Structure 1
Amino acid sequence: MRLTFTADGFTCPIVPAEGAPRTMAALLAALPMPLQLHTPKIAGSHIYWHAPFVEDVEGGVDVLSARPGAFIYWPVRQFLEITFAPLQAETASVTVLGHIDAPVEGVVALGERLRAEAGRRRLTGTLAASGDAPAAAAPTPAVPTALHVARLALWAECPADVAALTGSRAIMHPVGPVMLAESEARVLHETLWWIRSRLDAGDEAGLRTATAIALDKAAVRLRDFCHMTTTADTLFAAAAALDAPGQQLGPLVDEAILIAGRIAAWLDLLIPWNDINEGFREALSEAPAMGAAS
């Protein structure tokens, strides 16, 4: 069996690696997978997209040791990635799922195009299996049906209230609401992963309270500051599901992670990160040093 990655006119096969059967099974169950590519903000030398599943690290490898062309799953960030050069200093344990069977230069060119055009044009693609890929049935949701359906809809299409954020030209719009909303969703996503990592340590009541607070806080900020009412309602629904009779905490946290991660992903795609970085550098080069006498 092989995987085939296709995006923006570039196609390459991926040879799966052994040693991560649980993560690979989750990946195969999600194929064929539509992709929206994201540009890195810190590490730099990889392309990535969000994974529609939640799995712990499997056969953990230091992310800095992943060689160019590696296909990896980064659990806490919920990214699927293809690296194309050594990453900048960053600490993380990742799951290696395979390696591309093609010159890495094609991924380099795609990565450069992605960085330059992020926020201006959406680069899309697909990940599919070929050969003897085993069929995998979708798991039965262990959360309220309405919440699961809302999550699937969120993954299928960018919410209208997210897409509308770039249309405002009020004071400090659209950059203020977009950047605030993206950071809120990203922090919620990271917080839920922290909660997930503590599920086996006991204190379920405390973790339920922490989950409810995190979801409610992010939902209020998205609704009241960024006018993302429909998206906020999905987070409120996730918080309310904590009180559903017989609802187990673990599956609900996983569902909330998928919801928060996808919200953050849609917002991230709106942001012209390279343009902002270049503008920041230019402004800093022209401004006097902070604290310097005027």
Structure 2
Amino acid sequence: MTEPLPQSAIKERISTYLYFGSPYFAAVGILYLWGYWSTFDINILEYLNLTDILKSTAYPIASAFIFSIIGGVFTRVTLISNTQPLIQRDSKAGKFLRRSMPYIATLYFLGTFLLLMLASVWKWAALPTLLSFPIAVFIDNRGFLHKTIPDERTRTVVLLLLTSLPLLAYGQGRLKAEGILVGETFQYVLSPIEGTEIVPTSTPLQRLRVLGHAGDFIFLFDPEKRAVVISGFKEPKALTIKQFKRTNPTEKIASKLAGETVAPAKAATIPVAKP
């Protein structure tokens, strides 16, 4: 039976985790911003400081992290319930699997590489998991966290979470930006914007789409011109926006704009400039 750690050792370990955890989560946030804003060729870091980065990425990163933790806990519970391996090492199936492992690994890396080379952004729905697995195995073989987490199965789950979260954050940013570009789900502007013209009869798919705001700047996407509009506000001003979601995401944007169905949503008014 292992003896409990003294309180000083526990505090030291917690401080170590916080020391290395802070830059890790900051890097995860930057990756999310990079994945999202690079789609529109915008270097959002020019408009943000570190505090803004943490605030603007807290919700999407926390959402992705929570779902990852749920998946990790489910995996860990499954591993606990299956104390015996499904395939015995010395069985015929085990021997066949060991002989086939080089071929399986080759197909795995080849398939992941081909998926990475695809132009479609939707590949990021699967790439974080595919890329994080070999990275986690490599790190585990180097002895990382072996002393901190002696249990092999728990350590495997933790390493998968740590290696997949940065990739997942970048992928979530790319997927969210793609949803705005193709008109699947976005927020559009109802308020007049200086320097732009809003036609009262225009459909939601034709209106300016909100990309986000940083400081005294708001970033909008013009679907007609396929361009980004950056609007600055010298004085505090409110912006009225509304949520749009395509009821049939498989339809292409080239379909009829008239008669598009907007998912029920209430108009919201948000501040776009600091008081």
Q: Normalised by the size of structure 1, how large is the TM-score?
A: 0.29
Higher relative contact order (CA 8 A, sep 6+): 1
Rg (Cα) greater in structure: 2
Which TM-score applies when normalising by structure 2? 0.30
